[in-house]
């Protein structure tokens, strides 16, 4: 007899044959006894090795019932008796040796009518990969419905384990209570023995991973399923099972998961934990009133704001990881404090000092750690400060190089992306944001989250990364996939107390960051069940660290500055979401270009000012003309103004020849009159036909409203002429007795006065329009200059001493009323020298000219010019001449980009004056 056959024979001797009269092959699913409080055991009958799942799913049987059936004491109950009770209850018969279930010589042989012979076996993959096993297979189908020794393979038969221990004697002799032969590590989970009858097809239990008797090495280490089976039994006995679809489906899913033969212990533990969570949530949901109770964060938020604000008032805020940008972020984004509050303005002053002291020429605040730049940019954005021009430095610029940013790890590009998006900062490369996003997505760990470096995910880094990617979640499929996986990971790693353990400790900061991540995606952390564990939400967990206006880093410690500031902006971000406001890091809401509604003083006077600008120099000869620009520093767009009126002092010798409203003012027409006796110009702007409202539609202030043209009738003796707005008001109605009908503009300011020098000879006044910053097309070593020239008799070509030929500009000339030329010169060119007429050569002749917006110089501003500007910014074409740069930069800032293209569109369609012209004329005043 071969060795295997001999061993099989021994096995057979241990398995008792018995005839069973069961008629169905489906898993038996009868709960014999369900009372949790009762003592008892669990029995299952499994065909996992042949892919047939459970013949009897884990079933509880009470000791008392067994004692009654077999008339024995509890201490005498055997594994066979418990099995017999279940089998008998289900009508399952077996072929066995010994004198029935109560016999101490009971050995299971074949179980009758339990296996459907029409269904072939599906051996697990790990067995089919074992060549020795494959050779043992005699048939993939059973010859009849009985299942026992030698079915399918020559070494097949029933094996039994109690508490994951393959018992070393017959089931009829194995006591469930105080078994004398139980090993030292016999694991009785919850004092409920679990008896698993499993069909083995290889190695007399080697395929079950639990052979401890026959000397064959198990193919793997079987996990102990006792706790999991107990949970399944418990929830299958719940009244919701079979009556509540969600609950039933959920529990059945765990039963299905148990049908995998070689599940490892770690996965079994995971299933065991999760079944409790899922079942409890479904039970609570079914019970209705047991839902998670929301926490109102209002009081906590207000107290924390007050705490941090008081600290800021006392100590000031400065550049730094604590007591700096994160506090600024929380306080500013709460919108509880005006952005002109001293804590913010003082902070800004300190930032300027810090940048002066620490920033490199390139704008780096630290030689390698560019999160310093990102953090300061975020702080500045939150108080509506442009970080591209701080103390003459552009601290955004260093973020344009991915390799520099990512040097310190993943948090480099994560915070760089947040900083860039905080104020929609432009990047030198239009694709830079995509590069950042791709880099970040690719760094995701296989487990589902992100880590600072390497492959180990971390809660804080994962949550910060989600915050950075949140703006792209709905538009970028790769981002959505990565973030969704990260959310699963975050949910799975949340602990039973609703928090997280990161960097070796359970900290409030990890909770804060996760809340921020969820909120950035629009997920309410108090509603999403994935993040409520044991009825404890992330917000509940964060509150457990709260202490009188501040937060602790760890629950057992004391309050901590960093923990408090992170909790503050976390609560602020959550409140913003609840209030329907923009995301914490989306600061575009404070960048609004809507007209600022001015405040009123106690007399009802508007707290806005008028201004008048006239050219610094004007030609002093009969017939010469020039223009003054008159405007306001604000406008109350909520009021229904019927007219604007003003009084301007006209210098002796000058005559008003025209008054025009600019495009900023609509709804009415200009009416004016100069009183000869006083020399006062009186102007009214109103719609006298329909009395409709007059409206200022400017999006930026100060805004020019009127252009007044003055003409000189004779040469004047004076060296200067002085102008002043002596009165200006906005009227809401005609009732002069009602003070509420008039809003008086404050004209008692220096800006309401202007002076122009009278020049009888050729004179120049040069002023800077802008200087390039080297980022977008305009080199940092070049600046644009405008030059007013008086007393030009005829068309004149003007050349500066360095050989630069100036370009005549009709737009500025028309605006100021004085011939104006423009040019690009080296940035270091002295404006003092450019203001000396002796440094220019002037020759009669038609000068070269440029027109702002006419990029291709074809005499027409149209779509080609806008497209050429876009192409230049996209670097599809190269801008090779200063003239093209001057024509393209219609916004008059330090670079050429799509804003200029839009400026051209706006000018073409709406007639909006180019900013370079508006400001060019404004700068032309002394």
Residues at the interface with other proteins (CB under 8 A) = 666, 856, 858-860, 862-864, 866-868, 870-871, 874, 876-877, 898, 901-902, 905, 908-911
DSSP for residue 809: -
CA distances from 761 to 6, 434, 713, 834 (A): 127, 58, 17, 17
User: What is the nearest approach in angstroms of other proteins to the Cβ of residue 478?
Assistant: 16
Any residues with CB less than 8 A from the CB of 161 and at least 6 apart, and which? Answer: 167, 195, 196, 198, 208, 210
User: What is the nearest approach in angstroms of other proteins to the Cβ of residue 550?
Assistant: 48
CA distances from 390 to 188, 357, 376, 828, 912 (A): 70, 12, 11, 20, 29
User: What is the nearest approach in angstroms of other proteins to the Cβ of residue 477?
Assistant: 13
How many CB atoms neighbour CB 689 within 10 A? 8
- Percentages helix, strand, coil for the chain (3-state, rounded to 5) are 35, 20, 45
User: What is the nearest approach in angstroms of other proteins to the Cβ of residue 377?
Assistant: 25
Nearer to other proteins, 267 or 858 (CB): 858
Residue 924 to residue 789: CA distance in whole angstroms: 11
Nearer to other proteins, 788 or 901 (CB): 901
> Token pair of 918, please?
């508006």
Nearer to other proteins, 99 or 858 (CB): 858
User: What is the nearest approach in angstroms of other proteins to the Cβ of residue 767?
Assistant: 31
Nearer to other proteins, 696 or 901 (CB): 901
- In a 3-state reduction of DSSP, which class is residue 823? strand
User: What is the nearest approach in angstroms of other proteins to the Cβ of residue 731?
Assistant: 24
Nearer to other proteins, 607 or 875 (CB): 875
> Token pair of 595, please?
């007209």
Nearer to other proteins, 147 or 866 (CB): 866
User: What is the nearest approach in angstroms of other proteins to the Cβ of residue 407?
Assistant: 31
User: What is the nearest approach in angstroms of other proteins to the Cβ of residue 469?
Assistant: 21
- In a 3-state reduction of DSSP, which class is residue 519? helix
CA distances from 712 to 98, 652, 725, 851 (A): 132, 10, 20, 28
User: What is the nearest approach in angstroms of other proteins to the Cβ of residue 753?
Assistant: 33
Nearer to other proteins, 724 or 857 (CB): 857
Q: How many Cα atoms within 13 Å fall on the side-chain side of residue 623?
A: 3
Nearer to other proteins, 438 or 864 (CB): 864
Nearer to other proteins, 391 or 860 (CB): 860
Residue 713 to residue 10: CA distance in whole angstroms: 131
Any residues with CB less than 8 A from the CB of 610 and at least 6 apart, and which? Answer: 630, 631, 632, 633, 646, 725, 728, 745, 746, 747, 749, 751, 752
User: What is the nearest approach in angstroms of other proteins to the Cβ of residue 418?
Assistant: 24
The candidate with the shortest Cα–Cα distance to 77, out of 173, 195, 162, 220, is 173
> Token pair of 280, please?
């409890």
By the 8 A CB rule, do 424 and 437 touch?
A: no
The DSSP secondary structure of 559-597, one letter per residue, reads: B-HHHHHHHHHHHHHHHHHHTT---TT-GGGGG--SPPP
User: What is the nearest approach in angstroms of other proteins to the Cβ of residue 868?
Assistant: 7
Nearer to other proteins, 200 or 912 (CB): 912
User: What is the nearest approach in angstroms of other proteins to the Cβ of residue 431?
Assistant: 12
By the 8 A CB rule, do 786 and 800 touch?
A: no
Buried b (16+ CB within 10 A) or exposed e, 316-337: ebbbbeebbbbbbbbbbbbeeb
DSSP for residue 904: H
Nearer to other proteins, 341 or 856 (CB): 856
User: What is the nearest approach in angstroms of other proteins to the Cβ of residue 437?
Assistant: 18
By the 8 A CB rule, do 465 and 486 touch?
A: yes
Q: How many Cα atoms within 13 Å fall on the side-chain side of residue 823?
A: 24
Rounded to an integer, what is the distance from CA 799 to the centroid of its chain? 54
Nearer to other proteins, 649 or 697 (CB): 697
Rounded to an integer, what is the distance from CA 251 to the centroid of its chain? 36
User: What is the nearest approach in angstroms of other proteins to the Cβ of residue 822?
Assistant: 23
Nearer to other proteins, 555 or 867 (CB): 867
Nearer to other proteins, 249 or 910 (CB): 910
The DSSP secondary structure of 28-97, one letter per residue, reads: B---S---TTS-EEEEEEE-GGGT--EEEEEEEEEHHHHHHHHT--GGG-BHHHHHHHHHHHHT--EEEE
């Amino acid at each position: 007899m071969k060795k295997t056959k001999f061993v099989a024979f021994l096995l057979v001797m241990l398995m008792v044959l018995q005839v069973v009269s069961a008629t169905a092959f489906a898993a038996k699913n009868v709960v014999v006894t369900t009372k949790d409080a009762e003592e008892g055991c669990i029995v299952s009958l499994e065909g996992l090795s042949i892919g047939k799942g459970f013949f009897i799913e884990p079933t509880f049987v009470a000791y008392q019932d067994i004692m009654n059936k077999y008339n024995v004491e509890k201490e005498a109950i055997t594994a066979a008796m418990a099995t017999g009770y279940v089998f008998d209850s289900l009508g399952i018969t077996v072929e066995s040796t010994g004198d029935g279930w109560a016999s101490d010589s009971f050995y299971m042989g074949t179980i009758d009518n339990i296996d459907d012979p029409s269904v072939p076996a599906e051996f697990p993959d790990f067995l089919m990969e074992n060549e020795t096993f494959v050779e043992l297979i005699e048939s993939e189908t059973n010859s009849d419905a009985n299942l026992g020794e030698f079915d399918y393979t020559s070494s097949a038969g029933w094996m039994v384990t109690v508490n994951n221990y393959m018992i070393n004697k017959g089931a009829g002799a194995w006591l469930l209570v105080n078994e004398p032969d139980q090993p030292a590590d016999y694991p009785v989970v919850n004092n409920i023995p679990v008896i698993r009858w499993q069909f083995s097809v290889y190695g007399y239990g080697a395929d079950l991973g639990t052979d401890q008797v026959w000397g064959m090495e198990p193919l793997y280490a079987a996990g102990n399923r006792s706790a999991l089976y107990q949970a399944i039994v418990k929830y299958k006995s719940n009244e919701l099972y079979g009556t509540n679809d969600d609950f039933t489906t959920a529990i059945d899913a765990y039963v299905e998961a148990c049908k995998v033969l070689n599940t490892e212990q770690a996965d079994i533990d995971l299933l065991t934990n999760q079944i409790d969570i899922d079942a409890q949530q479904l039970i609570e949901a079914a019970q209705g009133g047991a839902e998670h109770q929301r926490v109102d964060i209002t009081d906590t938020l207000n107290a924390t704001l007050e705490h941090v604000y008081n600290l800021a008032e006392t100590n000031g805020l400065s550049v730094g990881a604590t007591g700096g940008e994160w506090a600024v972020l929380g306080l500013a984004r709460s919108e509880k404090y005006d952005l002109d509050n001293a804590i913010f303005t003082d902070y800004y002053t300190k930032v300027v000092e810090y940048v002066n002291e620490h920033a490199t020429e390139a704008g780096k605040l630290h030689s390698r750690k560019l999160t310093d730049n990102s953090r300061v940019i975020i702080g500045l954005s939150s108080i509506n400060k442009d970080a591209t021009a701080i103390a003459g430095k552009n601290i955004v610029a260093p973020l344009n190089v991915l390799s520099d940013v990512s040097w310190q790890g993943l948090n480099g590009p994560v915070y760089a992306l947040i900083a860039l998006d905080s104020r929609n900062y432009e990047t030198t490369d239009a694709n830079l944001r995509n590069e950042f996003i791709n880099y970040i997505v690719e760094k995701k760990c296989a487990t589902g989250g992100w880590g600072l470096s390497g492959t180990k995910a971390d809660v804080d880094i994962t949550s910060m990364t989600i915050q950075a990617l949140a703006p792209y979640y709905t538009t970028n499929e790769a981002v959505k996939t990565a973030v969704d996986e990260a959310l699963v990971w975050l949910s799975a790693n949340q602990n039973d107390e609703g928090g997280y353990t990161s960097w070796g400790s359970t900290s409030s900061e990890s909770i804060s960051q996760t809340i921020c991540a969820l909120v950035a995606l629009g997920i309410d952390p108090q509603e999403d069940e994935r993040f409520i564990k044991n009825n404890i939400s992330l917000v509940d967990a964060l509150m457990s660290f709260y202490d009188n206006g501040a937060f602790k880093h760890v629950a057992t410690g004391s309050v901590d500055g960093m923990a408090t500031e992170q909790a503050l902006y976390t609560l602020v971000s959550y409140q913003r979401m609840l209030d329907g406001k923009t995301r914490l890091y989306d600061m575009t809401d404070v960048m609004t270009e809507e007209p600022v509604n001015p405040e009123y003083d106690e007399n009802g006077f508007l707290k806005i000012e008028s201004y008048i600008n006239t050219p610094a120099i004007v030609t002093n000869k009969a017939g010469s003309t020039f223009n003054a620009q008159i405007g306001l520093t604000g406008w109350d767009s909520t009021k229904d103004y019927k007219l604007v009126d003003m009084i301007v002092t006209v210098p002796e010798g000058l005559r008003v020849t025209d008054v025009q409203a600019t495009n900023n003012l609509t709804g009415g027409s200009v009416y004016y009159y100069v009183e000869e006796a006083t020399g006062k110009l009186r102007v009214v702007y109103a719609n006298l036909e329909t009395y409709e409202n007059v409206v200022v539609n400017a999006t930026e202030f100060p805004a020019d409203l009127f252009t007044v043209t003055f003409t000189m009738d004779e040469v004047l003796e004076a060296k200067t002429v002085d102008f002043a707005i002596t009165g200006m008001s906005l009227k809401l109605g005609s009732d002069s007795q009602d003070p509420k009908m008039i809003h008086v503009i404050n004209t008692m300011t220096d800006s309401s006065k202007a002076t122009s020098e009278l020049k009888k000879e050729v004179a120049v006044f040069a002023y800077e329009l802008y200087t390039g910053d080297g980022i977008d097309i305009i080199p940092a070593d070049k600046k644009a200059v405008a030059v007013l020239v008086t007393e030009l008799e005829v068309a004149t070509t003007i050349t500066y001493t360095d050989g630069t030929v100036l370009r005549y500009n009709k737009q500025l000339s028309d605006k100021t009323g004085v011939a104006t030329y423009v040019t690009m010169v080296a940035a270091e060119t002295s404006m003092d020298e450019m203001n000396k007429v002796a440094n220019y050569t002037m020759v009669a002749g038609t000068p070269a000219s440029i027109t702002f917006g006419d990029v291709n110089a074809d005499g027409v501003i149209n779509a080609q010019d806008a497209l050429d500007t876009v192409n230049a910014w996209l670097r599809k074409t190269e801008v090779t001449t200063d003239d093209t740069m001057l024509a393209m930069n219609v916004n008059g800032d330090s670079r050429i980009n799509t804003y200029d293209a839009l400026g051209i569109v706006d000018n073409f369609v709406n007639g909006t004056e180019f900013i370079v012209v508006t400001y060019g004329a404004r700068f032309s005043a002394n």
